[in-house]
Amino acid sequence: MEEISKTEIANWFKNLQDNICYSLEKLDGQSSFKEDKWDRPEGGGGRSRVLKDGKLIEKGGVNFSAVSGPTPDKILKALNLPQADFFATGVSIVLHPQNPWVPIIHMNVRYFEMSNGVWWFGGGIDLTPHYVISEKARNFHQHLKTTCDKHSPEFYKKFKQWADEYFFVKHRNETRGIGGIFFDRINDNDGRSKADQWRFVQDVAETFIPAYKDAVQDLKNRKWSQEDKIWQKIRRGRYVEFNLVHDKGTKFGLDTNGRTESILMSLPPEANWEYDHQPANDLQRETLSLLKRGIDWINT
């Protein structure tokens, strides 16, 4: 079988960015993405696309990058890798909605290889509702399980647990949201070929739009109050805390001299930090009680 090339993977990710932007513009129905192409001095570059002040999306980004060059010492040490040049490509998405009832969603799919033959895929999709609604959480996780089950009966449980652990805000003792799936450094060590792993990553990526459409259906036009908006900004603050304190993708981008504007695209347009904030109603209190690891959302 012909080896999958990094160019083939990068081109597929470019088309993924195009297709997802087109679908999101249709779903938003008001605003469109603005593109910002950039070059990385050490090698490669990307296309950052941001949509602002939409009917559905207050701020959202769909970024593509393909960067290369000498691997920074910080990355070699963090990943316990020998000295070699690297190539990394992928698509990263974060959408912050206007309506507090609509959740934040994040997806990242990526490929990494080195000149010494080391390679792996990583990625996942996760959902961060401002208000946790069990039926919506169940439907979202079912989308991911259906995709995982096409490739292995073990994937959903394994990658869901990985997401629970990864998207955990340690200093708050709560999960960032209801999780999803997360995987990193998957290669042929588990007996699956590079082609098998690539097909899995492609299927995960193509799950994003159906899962997001289902997540916002019946919520995007729901009326909200000022109290809801305050709560949304508090929850956005927790999202920011995770991304700046714990997120490895943010650290990787900054450590490889990535484009700061594109890396910090994930942050919301507005967020609040109120000292010792307490939930204002039962639904807010219930949401906080559900921000924990290990919940079986599909059978809840």
Q: Does domain 6-289 have CATH number 2.70.40.10?
A: no
The residue ranges of every structural domain in the chain are 6-289
Which two structure tokens, joined as six digits, stand for 184?
A: 């990193």
- pLDDT over 80 (residue 176): yes
Q: Check: pTM over 0.75? Answer yes or no.
A: yes
- At 135 the pLDDT is 97
- Report CA-CA distances (Å) from 250 to 71, 95, 122, 285: 16, 16, 14, 30
Query: In the chain, pLDDT over 70 holds for what percent of residues?
Result: 99
- At 255 the pLDDT is 83
- At 296 the pLDDT is 98
Query: In the chain, pLDDT over 90 holds for what percent of residues?
Result: 88
The per-residue pLDDT of the chain, averaged, comes to 95
106 belongs to the catalytic site: yes
Segment 118-137 shows an average pLDDT of 97
- pLDDT over 80 (residue 258): no
Segment 225-251 shows an average pLDDT of 95
- Confidence bin at 1 (pLDDT 50/70/90): very low
Segment 43-61 shows an average pLDDT of 97
- Confidence bin at 2 (pLDDT 50/70/90): low
- pLDDT over 80 (residue 161): yes
Segment 80-87 shows an average pLDDT of 90
Q: Spot the catalytic one: 106, 130, 141, 143.
A: 106
Segment 210-233 shows an average pLDDT of 97
Q: Which of 44, 42, 46, 18 is nearest to 32 (CA)?
A: 18
Segment 211-224 shows an average pLDDT of 97
